[in-house]
């Protein structure tokens, strides 16, 4: 449960290809949940382990957070940079691709933290999006570092999961996936996997240090 949020609002520079609903419901990230009211649709989740509420209102993306959050991280997470528009102009003229672009013109690739992205992928085998999201939340609640003030939990690090037993992960409804997630965490912790993934700069040290962001995929 996220409490005591302060409002931070900024206006998107280019709304030609942006839909918060399409992005967060597309199955590329699983740390968000949607709530609907008579007046608005709000998404509750995390931007680099910083708990947020997010909503799109016309030409504005509104972000609320109880912890310090830089606009640069929001823009990075949601891929709000001109190079995305440039990339779209370079896509091939292919019928199925054109159909997909017309169906979800506001879809963008998010920059998910690399370890959370990897863990989600391992947990996704034969699972639907709601089930993967439940696993993500259970891993956070059971093994993630609490965030003040009652703001949620970080996604557990590879070191944290490697120190557990497989049965601990099975308690989060991973089933046979627990074995694979536990093994991946141990391989990474023991540095037996040459990831080659750079540790991207986090916000200033005076802020809570989130998981390091990296492109998914």
pLDDT at 67 over 90: no
Stretch 179-207: mean pLDDT? 72
Asked if 113 contacts 49 with a C-beta cutoff of 8 angstroms, the reply is: yes
Stretch 75-104: mean pLDDT? 88
DSSP state at residue 131: H
What's the chain's length in residues?
Answer: 217
Instruction: Supply the mean pLDDT for the chain.
Output: 84
- The pTM score is 0.81
Could you check whether the bond before residue 149 is cis, i.e. omega within 30 degrees of 0?
yes
CA gap 122, 156 in Å, rounded: 15
What are the tokens at 183? 């093994």
Asked if 17 contacts 76 with a C-beta cutoff of 8 angstroms, the reply is: no
CA gap 174, 178 in Å, rounded: 5
Domains of the chain plus CATH, in order, are 6-103 (3.30.310.40), 114-189 (1.10.340.30)
């Amino acid at each position: 449960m996220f409490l005591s949020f302060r409002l931070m609002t900024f206006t998107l520079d280019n709304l030609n290809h942006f839909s918060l609903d399409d992005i967060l419901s597309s199955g590329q990230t699983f740390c968000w949940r949607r709530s609907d009211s008579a007046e608005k649709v709000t998404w509750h989740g995390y931007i680099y382990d910083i708990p947020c509420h997010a909503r799109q209102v016309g030409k504005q993306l509104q972000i609320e957070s109880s912890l310090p959050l830089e606009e640069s991280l929001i823009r990075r997470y949601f891929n709000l940079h001109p190079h995305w528009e440039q990339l779209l102009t370079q896509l091939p003229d292919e019928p199925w691709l054109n159909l997909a672009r017309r169906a979800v013109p506001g879809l963008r690739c998010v920059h998910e933290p690399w370890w959370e992205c990897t863990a989600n992928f391992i947990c996704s085998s034969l699972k639907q999006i709601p089930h993967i999201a439940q696993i993500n939340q259970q891993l956070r609640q059971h093994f993630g570092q609490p965030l003040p003030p009652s703001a949620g939990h970080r996604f557990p690090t590879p070191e944290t999961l490697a120190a557990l037993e497989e049965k601990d992960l099975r308690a989060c409804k991973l089933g046979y996936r627990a074995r694979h997630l536990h093994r991946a965490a141990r391989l990474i912790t023991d540095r037996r996997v040459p990831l080659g993934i750079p540790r991207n700069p986090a916000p200033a040290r005076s802020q809570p240090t989130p998981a390091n962001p990296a492109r998914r995929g």
